[in-house]
Amino acid sequence: MIHASLVCRGCSGTLYAVSTICAPAARLPTWEVDHDHTPTSCPLHPLLPLQGVAAHVYELPEATRVLSEPA
């Protein structure tokens, strides 16, 4: 699944988010969130890519620091 409309709090750049279910018995997807095009001046660049297992992209560690609020 590809998540749309994510914006970086640090640079206002567009982010992509991809989730996968690695095993049929897995209850939660594994996520990866990063810039579409890595800007050189983003102050949050060290926090990306966000990766982890969560029910929703906004539940990933550091998501509240990196992702803008959903519209």
Q: What is the pLDDT of residues 10-47, one digit of tens each?
A: 999 889 999 888 766 668 899 999 998 867 789 998 99
Residue 48 has pLDDT above 80, yes or no: yes
- How far the first Cα of the chain sits from its last, in Å, is 19
Strands (E) in the chain, as ranges, are 2-7, 14-20, 30-35, 50-53
pLDDT of residue 27: 83
Residue 66 has pLDDT above 80, yes or no: yes
